[in-house]
Structure 1
Amino acid sequence: MEDQLKYELGILIFVLILARILYLIHKITTGFSREATSKRTLPCKTIVCIGSGGHTTEMLTLLNTLTFSKYSPRYYFMAKTDTTSYAKVKTLESVKKQNDSYKIFEIPRSRVVGQSYLTSVFTTLYSILYCIPLILKIKPELILCNGPGTCIPICLISFLLKAAFILDTRIVFIESFCRTQTFSLSGKILMYFADNFLVQWPSLKQRLKRAEYIGQLM
C-alpha cells in the first residue's frame, strides 16, 4: 500500500511539472512573457553566455551599451578552450572599471562546429550536468545569449528550474547578425524557452510573430 502511494505521488508530481512546463512554453510562444511583471529597483544578477568569434563580438558590443551597475553581479559562461573571448571579456570589464562585480566560468562545449547531432547529444548532456550546480549556486535573474551552443545547457537548466518554482529567470536571446533569412539551431530551440527573442533583420521578424526587431548591433 505504501509503495503504491509513493508511485501515485510520483505520477502526480510528474504530471504537475509537465503541466507547468507546457504552461510556460505556451506563455512564451504566445508572447505573454515578453514584458516584466514588475519594475526592478535592485541590480539584476546576470549570466552572459559568450560564444566565440562573431558571437563574442556581438555580445560585447551589446554589453558595452549597458549600464553595468544595473546588471550586477555578472557571470560570464564560455567554453573552456575559448581563450580569445576570455581575454576580450577581461578587457571590457577593465574598461568599465567594475572588476569586483563579475566572474568568468569556463564550461565544456555542448557542440563544436561540424560535430554530428548524434554525438552532440552526449556532449550537451555532459555540459548540462556540469552546469547544474553552477546555476543553483548563482540563481540568475537574467540570462543574455546570442546563439553559441554554450548557451543551450544554461538556458534549459534555468527554464526547468523555473518550471519547478526553484528559480525565476528571464531568458533573453539575440539571434546572430549573420542570420538574415533563417534561424540558427540555438534559435530554433530557444524560441520555445526564451522570454524575449530579439532579431537583427526584419525578415526574421516576419518568420516569428513574437520576435522583437532591434536593428543591427554590428
Structure 2
Amino acid sequence: MDTQFMIEFGFLIVALLITRVLYLVHKVTTGFSKYTNHPRKNPCKTVICIGSGGHTTEMIALIQNLDFNKYSPRYYVMASNDETSEIKIKNLENEKSDKLDYSVIKIPRSRIVGQSYISSIFSTVYSIIYCIPIVFKIRPDLNLCNGPGTCIPICIITFLFNCAFLASTKIVFIESICRTESFSLSGKILIYFADNFLVQWPSLKKKLKRAEYIGKLV
C-alpha cells in the first residue's frame, strides 16, 4: 500500500512539473512573461553571460548604458579560458563604478568552435550540471545574454529553477547583430525560454512576432 502510494505520488509530482514547464513555455512564447506586474524597489541582482569576440563587444555596448546602482550585484559568466573578455569587463567596471560590486564566474564551454554536434551534447550536459550550484547560490533577478554557447546552460538552469519556484528570474536575450536574416542556434533554443527576445534587425522582428526590435547596439 505504501509503495503504491509513493508511486502514485511520484507520478503526480512529475505531472505537476510537466504542467508547470508547459505553462511557462506557453507564457514565454506568447509574450506574456516579458511584462512585470511589480515595480522594483531594490537593486536588480544581475547575471550577464559573456561570450568571446563580437559577443563581448555587443554586450559591453549594452551594459555600459545601465545604471550600475540599479543593477547590482553583477555576475559576469564566461568560458573558463576567456581571459580577453575578463580584462574588458574589469576595465568597464573600473570606469563605471568605484564600488566594484561584481564577480567574474568561469564555467566550462558547452561547445568549442569546430566541435562536432554529437560531442557537444556531452560537453553541454556537463556544463549544465556545473552551473546548477552557481545559479542556486545566486538566484538572480535578471539574466542578460546575447548568444554565446556559454549562456545556454545558465539559461536552462534558470528556467528550470523558475519552474520549480526556486527563483523568479527574467531572462533577456539579445540576438547578435551579425544575425540579419536567421536566428542563431542559441536564439532558436531561447525562443522557448527567454522572457524578452530582442533583435537588432527589422527582418528578424518579422520572423518572430514577440521579438522586440531595438536597433543596432554597435
| Superposition TM-score, scaled by structure 2 size | 0.99
Amino acid in the other structure paired with 1:93:
E
Question: In the aligned structure 1, how far is the partner of 2:24 from the partner of 2:69?
Answer: 30
Instruction: Give, in angstroms, the shift of residue 36 of structure 1.
Output: 1.2
Q: Which runs of 5+ in 2 are unaligned?
A: none
Deviations 1:68-96 (A, max 9, x none): 11100000000011100010000000001
Instruction: Give, in angstroms, the shift of residue 99 of structure 1.
Output: 4.3
Question: In the aligned structure 2, how far is the partner of 1:37 from the partner of 1:168?
Answer: 13
Question: In the aligned structure 2, how far is the partner of 1:207 from the partner of 1:134?
Answer: 34
2:84 is aligned to 84
Question: In the aligned structure 2, how far is the partner of 1:190 from the partner of 1:146?
Answer: 10
2:66 is aligned to 66
Question: After TM superposition, which residue ranges in structure 1, 4 or more long, deviate above 2 angstroms?
Answer: 97-100
Instruction: Give, in angstroms, the shift of residue 98 of structure 1.
Output: 3.6
Question: In the aligned structure 1, how far is the partner of 2:110 from the partner of 2:98?
Answer: 30
Contact 2:68 2:97 in 1 (8 A): no
Q: Percent identity?
A: 63
Deviations 1:96-142 (A, max 9, x none): 12443100001000011121111111001110111100110011110
Deviations 1:134-186 (A, max 9, x none): 11001111000000000000000010010011110000000000000000000
Deviations 1:45-71 (A, max 9, x none): 000000000000000010101101110
Amino acid in the other structure paired with 1:166:
L
- Name the Cα RMSD after superposition: 0.7
Deviations 1:181-203 (A, max 9, x none): 00000000000000000000000
Question: In the aligned structure 1, how far is the partner of 2:175 from the partner of 2:153?
Answer: 17
Question: In the aligned structure 1, how far is the partner of 2:216 from the partner of 2:86?
Answer: 24
| Superposition TM-score, scaled by structure 1 size | 0.99
Amino acid in the other structure paired with 2:165:
F
Question: In the aligned structure 2, how far is the partner of 1:99 from the partner of 1:137?
Answer: 22
Question: In the aligned structure 2, how far is the partner of 1:128 from the partner of 1:37?
Answer: 30
1:187 is aligned to 187
Partner SS for 1:100: coil
1:102 aligns with 2:102: yes
